[in-house]
Amino acid sequence: MQGRISERTRQHYLDAMGIQTWFPRQILPNALPPRAFDLLEEEPGEAFKPEHSTVSSDPSSAPLRESAIGVSSAKDLLGISSRAETKQDAEPAPPVKQNLIAESRPTEISKFRLVTLAANEHCLVVAEMPHTGLNQFSRFHQRLLSDLLRAIQLPAGSETLPFSEFVWPLGNAGLMEHLSQDDSAAADAVCAYLSNQFGLARRKVVLLFGQAAARFVIDPSRNFSDLRGLQTGLHSNQYFIVTHGLNELMKLPALKSEVWQDISPIIKELTPS
């Protein structure tokens, strides 16, 4: 019948696995105990040398015993090696590179405070102030601003002008926490604020003091150094003048020459030809 094995082959399999199949009916006097399982015992760090083959290549050599051939075949089928292989020092496996999913970091929200005032009918001033603190726009700032406006022939209507503040971000009250507060949204909010509160479109000259005032009124993606000086406004016959902040100018009087280079070209544009 197909699938059956002979008794001799079965004995070879059992012998290869170290299973004793023959047991005496009774223990004879002075008989040795049954054979224990001959499992291969290995000590850590001990290397065994492979045995040299003793099979002669001479064709006249005596044939191998059938039992030895059967045991070897059974061990090969069972995956049991008949000789101890030499241990090799296992090389450390290379570290597995795990593809970590990059967590999306929240976009850093810009924080700024803008002071806005209408110097006169044609000129609007937007000045960056520190984001925190009280009474940021002091009388010293107003006096410095009046001197600059007088220098470019756009004098203020009075020495003390009313002003308002725009602070970004707007906060997380109500629906604001669900709205985008990135730089693009900040620029849209600033332009909407200036248009609704101060009539940005009808102002011929808009003075922008500081980086935040320049970037979030003109273009948040551009650098402040590229925006400095005289710029074409958002509307026809409109000019933007970009220069350093009033706070910086008060702390570093050496910037006066750079500020003058930025704001002086407007004089030529406003002078009738």
Strands 164-168, 229-232: pairing is: unpaired
206 forms beta bridges with 124, 240
Residues 15-31 as b or e (16 or more Cβ within 10 Å = b) = bbeeeeeeeeeeeeeee
Over 90: is that where the pLDDT of 84 sits?
Answer: no
Closest by Cα among 61, 65, 55 to 8: 65
Look up the pTM and report it.
0.60
* Residue at 15 is within a domain: no
Q: How many domains does the chain have?
A: 1
* Residue at 216 is within a domain: yes
* Residue at 215 is within a domain: yes
* Residue at 221 is within a domain: yes
Range with the largest mean pLDDT of 1-5, 179-183, 220-224: 220-224
How high is the pLDDT of residue 67? 52
What's the CA gap between 119 and 145, in Å, rounded? 9
3-state SS, residue 225: helix
pLDDT band for position 77 (cuts 50, 70, 90): low
* Residue at 35 is within a domain: no
Q: What's the burial of 33, exposed, middle or buried (CB within 10 Å: 0-12/13-18/19+)? A: exposed
pLDDT band for position 206 (cuts 50, 70, 90): very high
pLDDT tens digit sequence for 18-70:
777 766 667 777 777 766 655 556 565 555 555 555 455 555 555 545 555 55
* Residue at 155 is within a domain: yes
Backbone torsions φ then ψ of 73, nearest 5 degrees: -65, -40
pLDDT tens digit sequence for 87-121:
555 566 666 555 544 455 556 889 999 999 999 99
For helices 66-78 and 7-16, give the axis angle rounded to 10 degrees: 60
Q: How far is CA 24 from CA 2, 28, 37, 43, 218, in A?
A: 33, 8, 17, 34, 104
| CATH code of the domain containing 148 | 3.40.470
* Residue at 31 is within a domain: no
* Residue at 180 is within a domain: yes
Q: How many residues does the chain have?
A: 273
**3-state DSSP helix/strand/coil % of the chain, to nearest 5:** 35, 10, 55
* Domain around 247: 112-270
